Structure 1
Amino acid sequence: MQYRFTQTILHSRGSGHRMGQDIPKQFINVYDKPVLIYTLEGFQKHPQIDAIEVVCIDGWHDVLRAYAKQFNITKLRWIVSGGETGQESIRNGVYNLEGKVSDDDIVIIHDGIRPLVDDSVLTDVLVKAAKFGNAVTSMPYNEQIFVINKEDETTTTQYIPRETLRRVSTPQAYRFDILDQKYHEAFEKKIGIFGSSYTNTMMVELGETLHFAAGSDKNIKLTTKDDLELFKAYLKADKDSWLK
C-alpha cells in the first residue's frame, strides 16, 4: 500500500542524566554513530516515509543537522524546539506541520531513543492508521500483574489477567487532522497533557478508540546504562547474524 504523504515526528528532547552522561542520551555515540541517527536511519530507509521532523532539545539543532548530513538522512525536513514536557514537545511538532501537510496525511510519532524500530512494525502501523485513522504499536504482556492492597501496600489480593493487557509504545500513527484537532483540544481543556501522558493516553482521555498494530521486543527505549548495553548487544548480534 502506498500513501500520498507520510510524515514522522521524532520526539527527541530528553537529557542523559539517568545514564550518568553530560550530553543528551539521543546524542550518545554507539560504535561511532549517535543513537538518534540509528533511529533516523530506520525511517530514512523505509520507502513509505516521505519526510521527517525532529523535536530537538535547544542548542543541539545544528549538531543534528551536521549529523544528518554526515549520515545522509535526506528525509529530515524540519527541526523544532521542544517544550517543558513531553506532551508540549510533541504538540510543538504537530503545530509546526499546520499548513505544511494535508488532513489525510499519516503522521507517525516515535521516541528518538528507540533506535531499533523494525521495517515490518512501521509498515503495519501505517497500514492500520490508513484504515482506521490511528494505530499504536503493541505487544502482549507476558508477566503477571497484581494490584497493591490499599490497606497494606506490601500485600495483594487481586490480579489483572494478562490476556486482557497490551504493552503500547511508539511508533504510533494518526491522520493529521485528528492529531492536530486533539492536541488543540487537550491543551485548551487541560486533558491528557500532564505527568507521563503521551499521545496515545491523551487520545483515550479525549474519547478516541485506538487500534493496535504490530510490535517488536527489540523496540527498546534507551533510558539507563543497562538499556544502552542491551542496544549494543542487539547491534553486535545483527553483525554476527551469519553465525550458526
Structure 2
Amino acid sequence: MAICAIVIAGGVGSRMGQKIPKQFINVGEKPVIVYTLEAFQNHPLVDSIEVVCLDGWEQVLVAYAKQYKIDKLKWIVKGGTSGQESIRNGVYNLEGKLSEDDICIVHDGVRPMLDPEVITDVIRVAQSHGNAVTSMPYNEQIFIIDEEDPTTTTQYIPRETLRRVSTPQAYRFDLLDSKYHEAFEKGVGIDGSNYTNTMMVQLGVRLNFAAGSDRNIKLTTPENLEFFRAWAAEKEARDE
C-alpha cells in the first residue's frame, strides 16, 4: 500500500494582495510551497508527491523541487478553474499509476505549517477505515441568524456537536477516483466552496476524523502570512 500526497497549488490567492500567487511568496529563504512539500518529503510514510500547479508556474515549481531536493515529486498537473476541478485533475492523472488500495493525501499547498504527527494520523485512520479528515474541536459559540430579522438570533448550535475540518485529508485511491467521476457526472459537490470532504458527504460517504492542529492554518490573508513568517523564523532559529 503506497502513500501519495496530492498538493493543491492551483490558486492565484487574490485575497492576499500580493503580486505573485501566495504559494510562491518567499518566506525567509524559501517559497511557501516548498515548506509544504518538505513536510511530505521528510515524512517516512509518504512515497510520492503530485502537485496540481497554477498554469504557467510549472517550470518554477520544477526548479524549486530541484533546488530544495524534493525528489518525491513525481507528477505536476495543470490546475483547473476551481478548487474541485484542480483536485479532480490531480486524481484523474493518477489513474493507472496508483493501485486501488493506495492512500492519497489531499492537502492545500498554502497550509505549510504541517506537523508530521498530523500526517501520520490521517494515514493511520485512512488505512483502517478508507478515509480520514483532520479535525479539531470548535471552541467558539455558533448562533443561527433569524430569517425574518438577520440582526437577531434565538437559536444556537452546541459547539460540542461541531468539528472544524481541514486538510490534509486521506482516501483510498479507488474511493477518491470513483467519487470524483460520480461528482462531475452528476454535478454534485463541485461548486462554490465545496472540497473533497463535502463532496464525499453529499455522495453518501461516512467520513472518519483524524487528529488536527491549530497551527495548520491556511494562508489566506496578510495577517496569516505574518503569522507564518514568525513561525518560519522561529523554526529556522531552532534548526540552526
Structure 2-normalised TM-score? 0.98
What is the match of residue 28 of structure 1?
A: 25
Which of residues 73, 76, 81 is equivalent to 1:79? 76
CA distance in 2, matches of 1:173, 1:137: 9
CA distance in 1, matches of 2:89, 2:163: 28
Say if 2:133 is the partner of 1:144. Answer: no
Say if 2:187 is the partner of 1:204. Answer: no
Which of residues 105, 119, 122 is equivalent to 2:119? 122
Q: Partner letter of residue 19 of structure 1?
A: M
What is the match of residue 51 of structure 2?
A: 54
Which of residues 202, 220, 234 is equivalent to 1:237? 234
CA distance in 1, matches of 2:108, 2:67: 21
CA distance in 1, matches of 2:238, 2:48: 31
Determine what percentage of the aligned residue pairs are the same residue.
Answer: 68
CA-atom RMSD in angstroms: 1.0
Aligned-pair CA distance for 1:237: 3.1
CA distance in 2, matches of 1:228, 1:159: 32
Residue by residue over 1:151-192, the C-alpha shift from the partner in whole angstroms, topping out at 9 and shown as x without a partner, is 111100000000000000000000000000000000000000
CA distance in 2, matches of 1:236, 1:7: 29
Q: What is the correspondence of 1:173-188 to structure 2 with a 5 Å cutoff?
A: 173-188=170-185
Gaps of 5+ in 2: none
Q: Give 3-state SS (helix, strand or coil) of 1:170's partner.
A: strand
Aligned-pair CA distance for 1:19: 1.5
CA distance in 1, matches of 2:195, 2:50: 18
What is the match of residue 19 of structure 1?
A: 16
CA distance in 2, matches of 1:53, 1:88: 15
Aligned-pair CA distance for 1:240: 5.0
Aligned-pair CA distance for 1:239: 4.1
Q: Partner letter of residue 204 of structure 1?
A: V
CA distance in 2, matches of 1:82, 1:184: 17
CA distance in 1, matches of 2:60, 2:235: 28
Q: Give 3-state SS (helix, strand or coil) of 2:193's partner.
A: coil
Q: Give 3-state SS (helix, strand or coil) of 1:113's partner.
A: coil
Is 2:11–2:54's contact at 8 Å kept on the other side of the alignment? yes
Aligned-pair CA distance for 1:15: 1.0
CA distance in 1, matches of 2:27, 2:220: 14
What is the match of residue 166 of structure 2?
A: 169
Say if 2:126 is the partner of 1:133. Answer: no
The 10-residue stretch of structure 1 (227-236 or 37-46) with the greater mean CA deviation from structure 2: 227-236
Say if 2:151 is the partner of 1:154. Answer: yes
